[in-house]
């Protein structure tokens, strides 16, 4: 009988060791979903790398799920709902549309799945944090940079993201605010491309066809820069039509290197993902996230500072 009791105790100890995970093991089993605006831009992969780096340090798996095109707002709403049904431990999201995504985000939080917005937020105070580029400040830098390139006068084509994007709204606001200092510059009404390079080329072509005296383009994202840079290349307009754009997709960066884009507004997407996971870790541990809004400065990249080690570090995330 004694031997049977000892055996039973031994089995119980083994079972406890096998099926009752330590705190570290439990953390390793947690999954955070990273939902970008779209999967057709390398920018979001840099955010993913930052999130994965923080996940490795803290013990989280990062699930990367997204719609192919950021105009697919309904698809992103469905993804948020799917992640709640899947019972992920937290959601990091760049909202395609600030208004349309707000109810889905609020519902996710109500159902026990915390949400933090990265790069582009929602029209709600429900998310635990918002981590993004200082879009207004960065767009003002873009305006100042383009104004200098065109000597403070002339017509400028404005290629935006989407009408409902918080990021797009902030960049549009910052760009127009920055251009107020240059009364001889006419910013043509914004046209949206959804950051799609092909659509942006069509928009840029329409701008130039209707305004052959146009001297510059502002791209609010990589697609806008790529499309307008392609137009400059196709029409042989380098040195005549200047382009300043956000982001650094491979195609956009090549157009910059070849002289068809004059300046890039470079963000730090790696830091967005990295800080986002650390903020989510605090939420899941019941700690307060401070500050709730984190604005990361952007850098203006030109041929003059392209070889700077700090710039190269940003470009090679």
Confidence (pLDDT) at 266: 96
Confidence (pLDDT) at 24: 45
pTM of the model: 0.82
Mean pLDDT by 10 residues, the chain (317 residues): 35 32 50 95 94 97 95 96 98 97 98 97 97 96 98 98 94 98 98 96 98 98 97 97 96 97 96 98 97 94 95 88
CA nearest to 174, candidates 211, 218, 212, 141:
141
Confidence (pLDDT) at 28: 53
């Amino acid at each position: 009988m004694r031997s049977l009791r000892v055996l039973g105790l031994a089995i119980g100890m083994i079972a406890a060791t096998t099926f009752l995970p330590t705190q570290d093991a439990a953390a390793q089993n947690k999954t955070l979903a990273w939902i970008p605006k779209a999967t057709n831009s390398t920018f979001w992969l840099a955010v993913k790398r930052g999130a994965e780096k923080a996940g490795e340090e803290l013990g989280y798996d990062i699930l990367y799920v997204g719609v192919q095109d950021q105009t697919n707002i309904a698809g992103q709403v469905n993804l948020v709902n799917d992640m709640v049904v899947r019972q992920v431990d937290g959601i990091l999201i760049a909202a395609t549309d600030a208004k349309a995504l707000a109810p889905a985000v609020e519902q996710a939080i109500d159902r026990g799945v915390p949400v933090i917005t990265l790069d582009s937020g929602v029209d709600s105070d429900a998310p635990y944090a918002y981590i993004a580029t200082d879009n207004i400040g960065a767009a003002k830098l873009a305006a100042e940079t383009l104004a200098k390139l065109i000597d403070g006068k002339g017509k400028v084509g404005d290629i935006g993201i989407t009408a409902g994007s918080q990021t797009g709204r902030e960049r549009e606001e910052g760009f127009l605010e920055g251009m107020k200092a240059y009364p001889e510059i006419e910013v043509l009404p914004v046209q949206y491309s959804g950051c799609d390079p092909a659509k942006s080329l069509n928009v840029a072509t329409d701008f130039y066809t209707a305004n052959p005296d146009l001297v510059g383009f502002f791209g609010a994202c990589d697609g806008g820069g790529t499309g307008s840079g392609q137009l400059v290349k196709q029409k042989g307009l380098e040195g005549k039509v200047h382009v300043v754009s956000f982001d650094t997709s491979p195609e956009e960066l090549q157009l910059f290197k070849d002289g068809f884009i004059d300046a890039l507004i470079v963000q730090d997407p790696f830091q967005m993902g990295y800080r986002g996971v650390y903020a989510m870790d605090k939420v899941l541990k019941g700690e307060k996230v401070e500050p709730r809004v984190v604005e990361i400065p952007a850098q203006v990249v030109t041929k003059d500072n392209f070889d700077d080690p700090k710039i190269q570090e940003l470009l090679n995330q």
